[in-house]
Amino acid sequence: MPRERSSAMALSLLYQDEWIVAVNKPAGLLVHRSWLDKAETRFAMQMTRDLMGGRHVYPVHRLDRPTSGVLLFALDPTVARALTEAFAARQVHKEYLALVRGWAPAQGVIDYPLKEQLDKIADAMSDPDRPAQDAVTTFRRLHQVELPYAVSKKHPTSRYSLVKLFPKTGRKHQLRRHMDHLFHPIVGDTTHGDGRHNRFFREHYGCERLLLVAHTLSFNHPILKVPMRIRAPLGQDVLALFAALGWPASESDY
């Protein structure tokens, strides 16, 4: 899948106070510098620091490179520790939107342990024999559609669903692997998805990205002690795609 260069990407501010900052990370942008792509020169962490006038920011969670949406940073090391502990203790509520192949069930729970996926360079020191870790995702279907296109030779039409995903754990590539396990891979996933459907969305809708959005983060503010709910806009490209599929095309519908 062609990859949009991060130099052309815009990272927008969603929330800022004295202690935390949240941004809307575009699809295709790395969170921080990685040995996996030495040629890349722009990262969400550096771009957020630039938005803050050069102030240091501390990452407290991660998003896969192809995933867009809410990315939270701390502006203080003590706050960073508190937020990192909140994520680890599953005290942060995460909501994602994903467009998947097939008609997904109306709702359900995916309780499927995941073996750690190791990168040859980044995880060179990790234990390859580590047992699978518990991984739980709940989901709810929002919309579905049947299109008059034979993407697969087995079927004269093609079906897709829009689902809301609620990861209860934070394993690597958890949502992408869980939806693949459910036989409803996320469209645009070049690692765990279906290449035929990825190609169809590229050619028919001009969609060059993974259709997975980290839509909402909800947590208690570590300093102010008030409930926080930070939401990322889906953006006009995603909403236009939803409209083309016959689904609601306003941010307020999601």
Q: Enumerate the active-site residues.
A: 64
Q: What is the Cα–Cα distance from 72 to 14, expressed in whole angstroms?
A: 9
SS3 234: coil
In whole angstroms, what is the distance from residue 72 CA to residue 151 CA?
38
Buried b (16+ CB within 10 A) or exposed e, 114-144: beeeeeeeeeeeeeeeeeeeebbbebebbbb
Give the distance from CA 101 to its chain's centroid. Answer: 17
Token pair 């306003």 in the structure block, residue:
250
Amino acid in position 188 = G
What residues does 146 pair with on adjacent strands? 159
| CA–CA dist 20, 151 (Å, integer) | 45
For the residues of 97-108, what is the DSSP string, one character each?
A: EEEEES---SEE
Phi-psi region of 102 (alpha: psi -120 to 50; beta: other; left: phi over 0): left
Other beta carbons within 10 angstroms of residue 171's beta carbon come to 21
